[in-house]
Structure 1
Amino acid sequence: MDSILNPWPWYISGPLIALVMALLLYFGKTFGMSSNLRTLCAIGGAGKYADFFKFKWKNQIWNLTVVAGAIIGGYIATQYLSNDSITELNKKTITELQIMGFKNPGETLVPDEMYHVDVLKTPKGLMLLIIGGLLVGFGTRYAGGCTSGHAITGLSSLQKPSLIAVIGFFIGGLLMTNFILPLIF
């Protein structure tokens, strides 16, 4: 039973992702979380305030299955398919994170120092949430999609703009991790 609680190996999850992408391509559909959020905003009436949300959202309602799947799948994964094993981090990474103030790097899925609800009660935590949210929103809009849309759908359909966006995501992630994060913590 313990083997079912570990993450699915690449040879199961990879072909499943490929199968879903092949079906989406066959039916002329695209995948990405930002598309789903745009649809949700349009349903909520955001088109009254911004032209970006003025589109025939009823044609995109199928996209909301991704949102439902992420919520339901996340619940199933955390409640039934997870174990309490810690993330195996490089010893140098652990030392660097501890120097930055992270108490137990790798022992939880996300660090409490950044993601615990109490962080929102601090000015630093609130500013990180607001600025980070604005940057993610701006970046998603500027890049014409999110990481899942470009990296999964865009690359699988051989779109050059998605390749450029994914390279940009990696460069941004490296810059954030190696230069900006140490300044924040």
Structure 2
Amino acid sequence: MKYILEPWPWYISGPFIAIVMFLLLYFGRTFGMSSNLRTMCAIGGAGKRVKFFDFDWKSEKWNLMVVAGAVIGGMIAHFFLSNPIDIQLSENTINDLDTLGFKNVGESLLPPELFSWDSVFSLKGIAILLIGGFLVGFGTRYAGGCTSGHAITGLSSLQLPSLVAVIGFFIGGLIMIHFIYPILF
């Protein structure tokens, strides 16, 4: 028997996110992926050279469960819960992506023009990864957290800096996709 899997509707997944946020706030914790990177760097000894990483990482090792959960959850979703059907896109989106050089638009969530090993290990792919990684790292540090931390924890606890950061993330994303991305591809 073949099961057709659909994404969880908002009224199922939304309350789960709310419950997790309530528990984190209740126990005085915050959610964010960038803090996990800081913890991993501290575990690796980066605190000996950079003051930012010199902290008691053992008090933050609970947060590494977020990384483990994201990896395990992603694997479960990919291998057991994926529904390999074509993605429904508007004709305008298909035409726009076609003009940018994407073929077979809508057949995959990860287009091979960007995510195949050949693309990643090309000079252009490595340059984009290095420059993009630097900009994401700098932006995360400058904004005091990542998109998930500000958008989920910061907004749910009504922090004005998180609202400003999330607005900035959206503006940056719009600038990227409408102005910079067409130049790169």
> How high is the sequence identity, in percent, across the aligned residues?
66
1:14-33 alignment runs, 5 A limit: 14-33=14-33
**161-170 or 43-52: bigger deviation:** 43-52
Deviation by residue 1:33-70 (Cα, 9 ceiling, x = unmatched):
00111101101111112111001111101000001000
Deviation at 1:173, TM superposition (A): 0.5
TM-score (norm 2): 0.96
Deviation at 1:157, TM superposition (A): 0.5
Contact 2:38 2:53 in 1 (8 A): yes
Deviation by residue 1:10-33 (Cα, 9 ceiling, x = unmatched):
110011000000110111100000
Q: Distance in 1 between matches of 2:127 and 2:18?
A: 38
The alignment partner of 1:71 has SS state of helix
Deviation at 1:2, TM superposition (A): 3.2
Structure 2 unaligned residues grouped into runs of 5+: none
Q: Distance in 1 between matches of 2:35 and 2:64?
A: 9
1:165-180 alignment runs, 5 A limit: 165-180=165-180
1:136 and 2:136 equivalent?
yes
**143-152 or 113-122: bigger deviation:** 113-122
Q: Which residue of 2 aligns with 1:150?
A: 150
Q: Distance in 1 between matches of 2:87 and 2:176?
A: 21
CA RMSD of aligned residues (A): 1.1
**108-117 or 13-22: bigger deviation:** 108-117
Q: Give the count of matched residue pairs.
A: 184
Q: Which residue of 1 aligns with 2:101?
A: 101
1:13 and 2:13 equivalent?
yes
Deviation at 1:89, TM superposition (A): 1.8
1:2 and 2:3 equivalent?
yes
TM-score (norm 1): 0.96
Contact 2:114 2:120 in 1 (8 A): no
Q: Distance in 1 between matches of 2:8 and 2:128?
A: 32
Q: Distance in 2 between matches of 1:10 and 1:87?
A: 19
Deviation at 1:121, TM superposition (A): 2.8
- Following superposition, which runs of at least 4 residues in structure 1 exceed 6 angstroms of deviation? none
Deviation by residue 1:141-169 (Cα, 9 ceiling, x = unmatched):
11110000000000000000000000000
Structure 1 unaligned residues grouped into runs of 5+: none
